[in-house]
Structure 1
Amino acid sequence: MPVIAPTHYSFRSFDRQWIIPDARLINRPNPELWDSYSAKQLFLTALERVSPRSGPSITFTGLIPDLDHYHGRGGRAHPLWRDASAKVPNIPPQLLGALAEVYGHAVSAEDLMAYLAAVMAHPAFTARFQEDLVQPGLRVPLTADPALFSEAAALGREVIWLHSYGERFADLTAGRPKVPPRMAENARPFVPEGGGIPGAPEPLPDTMEYDATKNRLHVGKGFVDNVSPEMWNYEVSGKQVVWHWFSYRRLDRTRPQIGDKRPPSPLDKIQPDHWLAEYTSDLINLLNVLGRLIALEPRQADLMKLILTAELIKVDHLKTALGVGSN
């Protein structure tokens, strides 16, 4: 029987891990997601039955997402494309046509996805609409201003490029190479001399601590410098991204069992016996992505304010275009 090679997948927002793509091993695999997957696919993930509390209200990934990808407690994945060849968008063509009429130019599925990223994938959106989000289900303000839509779509492409670690919406002319994003050289996190996180024969580290006085992130006996408090505290609806990233790679990965839930599988105990060099690379990549996203947040917040004070497309207009009743 042939060996099925492991593949990268998105376990949680900004946390990429490995999986064996065999339906006999995966809990509740979604054939539609796997069948429509390709190097052009993009997934938006968000909560469905509850509302986000903080951080970005949506996140993106270019890899197959876990069912609980958004923050580990429920959610839903929305693919950009319905097919692996990326020719059939997962957005009603009537909606794209209606937007094209408003803006006076063609609107692609990628444009609309990028607009959502610019407007919704930042903490200011979640904070601004906290009262409205009491009722689960995300709603987005759609600008009627062609210039604001274009500005948001351009900004959102950078957001998605960051969320996907440079693998989606890469564009060299726009400064988005198809490589893991990096902050400016004087601002980017780095492992200084003497700070390397030791591998074998040292066991996996079990502690991660942050020293705000030195902007230093300690991982076991090693550390990373130039880590801002904002990077350390970055969260997706209550889930502190950097800490939880480490919690799945530390020595003791056990978690308290809640109620009568089924106990963890013994397979959970299978892990490397030492810190891997790729873990350090992945951590540096994560910190750079978070740092650049944090730097974009003021632009996203300002753009959202402009959109909310300008004319918006009315819901009834969209319902008419989609052939949906107004009631």
Structure 2
Amino acid sequence: MTAKQDAPRLSDLMPWSVAPLRLGRSWVMGPDPAALRARWNALVAAEDAAVRERLFRPSRARTLHSAVGQLPGQATPTGRLARADGPCPEPVRVLHGPFDRQWLLPDQRLIDAARPELWRVADGRQLFAVECGQLPQVPGPAVVCSALLPDGRSPAGRPGRIRPLYRRPGGCEPNLAPGLSGLLARRLDRPVEPVHVLAWIVAAAHHSPDGCTVPLTADPAVWDSGVALGERLLWLQTHGGYSPGGGAGERPRMPGGRRPYVRAALPARGLPDTIGYDPEDEALLLGGGRISPVPPGAWEFHAGGVRVLEEWFAQRTGGGAETEPPEPGSLAALRPTSWPQEWTSELLELITVLALLAELAPRGEELRQRTADGPAIGRVELRAAGIVPAPAAARRPASVLDHHEEGPEGQFVLL
């Protein structure tokens, strides 16, 4: 067996995983929270049952008469949507795909499969590892992390699984194979915290025909380098939501002379219909708008099989890789008709994150080479130690009994 064949899979190291969210209707998520509120208001303003049903777009999983409970942590009504007339559920920030921070109406009545087990453990201590889909010959990370609840979708390619770092709220019970941290601590002769393992995963993981593979080094110096790189990646991917040492840190920023700025304003009316890149001036072109400097690494950054900046732009102007243009008169057609200032701020931050991630790519390649050339901890050793395969209980969500959740029609449920 070769070292590559013996390398553990991500599923070996983080046993509990959850499938991507399945919305069932595109209008419940979007990049503009005001548009989501307008869609909700249009739905509840429809007094005719047939009109409301057409706007809602029922599915096998959800209709206007579905009886479902609240999502954990969300104070939304639980009455049937057929008679709903209250205010819009407050939109929450989520991660759409690998790098697109959008908004979602967190109402389980609207979502076919909202994955309440994820919402139950989402808090200020949680980090989510998301496997990225891959297309042949297209570069991109194998795993990205988010402090926001991710939908797990992949713009192109097969969606991956979502793996919370902790199985319970408050940073309790790490989602790691039982015994893994102890074995690593003994072999590497240093303390190994759950976030160190996640940092190593983000830095060292790569795509393989068998899924996401995470080689483990037995060299303490290589481990330290990988964890340091991974913590930097975590900080960038979470937009400062994670920082080494705990808590939220400063948001990523480029050095003074390299920060991207708007050099030519976007149109005051309407949405830009094209996006392009001027490599000579390192400028991002959005219709008549112009942002620079934008390093080539930011423009060329791919994830989930697509160029990130192009997909981000398409999600706001004409539908991305996974979506079709909305039908006239549908709720999804209620969207901004001009470019909000908030999108410019978000775009500048995304450019910064992608540029800094691209600068770290050579360090990632060096780490993978050093790991391949040095001593390793493979599946054979993990199996001999009783760590692989993980017990069935570690692959299921933990029971969370310390809070109430409202069930259908206002009833309380016990978990």
Q: Give your verdict on TM over 0.5.
A: yes
Quote the residue 2:235 is aligned against.
161
Deviation at 1:178?
A: 2.1
Quote the residue 1:83 is aligned against.
168
* Secondary structure in structure 2 of the residue aligned to 1:210: strand
The verdict on how the C-alpha distance between 1:256 and 1:86 changes in structure 2, with shifts beyond 3 A counting, is closer
Query: Contact conserved, 2:266 with 2:287, CA < 8 A, in 1?
Result: yes
Q: Which amino acid aligns with 1:286?
A: L
Distance 2:382 2:320 in 1: 48
Quote the residue 2:201 is aligned against.
116
Task: Write out aligned runs for 1:1-327 (5 A).
Answer: 1=86, 3-47=88-132, 53-69=138-154, 73-120=158-205, 125=206, 133=208, 135-169=209-243, 178-192=249-263, 195-199=264-268, 202-250=269-317, 252-253=318-319, 266-324=330-388
Query: Contact conserved, 2:262 with 2:290, CA < 8 A, in 1?
Result: yes
Q: TM-score, normalised by structure 1?
A: 0.84
Distance 1:223 1:114 in 2: 35
Q: Which amino acid aligns with 2:266?
A: I
Q: TM-score, normalised by structure 2?
A: 0.67
Q: Which amino acid aligns with 2:210?
A: P
Query: Contact conserved, 2:284 with 2:291, CA < 8 A, in 1?
Result: yes
Structure 2 stretches lacking a partner, 5+ long: 1-85, 390-415
* Secondary structure in structure 2 of the residue aligned to 1:274: coil
Query: Contact conserved, 2:91 with 2:104, CA < 8 A, in 1?
Result: yes
Query: Contact conserved, 2:155 with 2:305, CA < 8 A, in 1?
Result: no
Distance 1:80 1:211 in 2: 40
Residues 56-100 of structure 1 show CA distances to partners (whole Å, capped at 9, x for unaligned) of 111111111113157574211111111121111111231111111
Q: Which has the larger radius of gyration?
A: 2
Q: Which amino acid aligns with 1:62?
A: A
Distance 1:219 1:49 in 2: 27
Query: Contact conserved, 2:219 with 2:374, CA < 8 A, in 1?
Result: yes
Structure number with greater CO (CA < 8 Å, separation at least 6) is 2
Q: Greater share of strand residues, 1 or 2?
A: 2
Q: Which amino acid aligns with 1:85?
A: G
* Secondary structure in structure 1 of the residue aligned to 2:285: strand
Deviation at 1:307?
A: 1.5
Deviation at 1:51?
A: 7.8
Distance 2:254 2:110 in 1: 38
* Secondary structure in structure 2 of the residue aligned to 1:191: strand
Query: Contact conserved, 1:59 with 1:70, CA < 8 A, in 2?
Result: no
Quote the residue 1:129 is aligned against.
none
Query: Contact conserved, 2:127 with 2:165, CA < 8 A, in 1?
Result: yes
Distance 1:300 1:94 in 2: 27
Identity of aligned residues (%): 33
Distance 1:158 1:26 in 2: 34
* Secondary structure in structure 1 of the residue aligned to 2:222: helix
Deviation at 1:3?
A: 4.2
Deviation at 1:256?
A: 9.5
The verdict on how the C-alpha distance between 1:238 and 1:196 changes in structure 2, with shifts beyond 3 A counting, is same
Query: Contact conserved, 1:45 with 1:70, CA < 8 A, in 2?
Result: no
Residues 256-306 of structure 1 show CA distances to partners (whole Å, capped at 9, x for unaligned) of 989xxx989923212112100010000000000011011111112112211
Residues 172-225 of structure 1 show CA distances to partners (whole Å, capped at 9, x for unaligned) of 9xxx97232011122222112xx12233xx012221111112211111221101
145-154 or 262-271, larger mean C-alpha shift: 262-271
Residues 119-149 of structure 1 show CA distances to partners (whole Å, capped at 9, x for unaligned) of 23xxxx55xxxxxx2x231222110011211
Distance 1:190 1:21 in 2: 34
Query: Contact conserved, 1:257 with 1:263, CA < 8 A, in 2?
Result: no
* Secondary structure in structure 2 of the residue aligned to 1:288: helix
Distance 1:264 1:86 in 2: 45
Distance 2:259 2:311 in 1: 21
Deviation at 1:231?
A: 1.3
Distance 1:73 1:264 in 2: 30
* Secondary structure in structure 1 of the residue aligned to 2:211: coil
Distance 1:79 1:237 in 2: 19
Q: How many residue pairs end up in the alignment?
A: 303
Query: Contact conserved, 1:197 with 1:222, CA < 8 A, in 2?
Result: yes
Structure 1 stretches lacking a partner, 5+ long: 127-132
Query: Contact conserved, 1:50 with 1:136, CA < 8 A, in 2?
Result: no
Deviation at 1:323?
A: 4.9
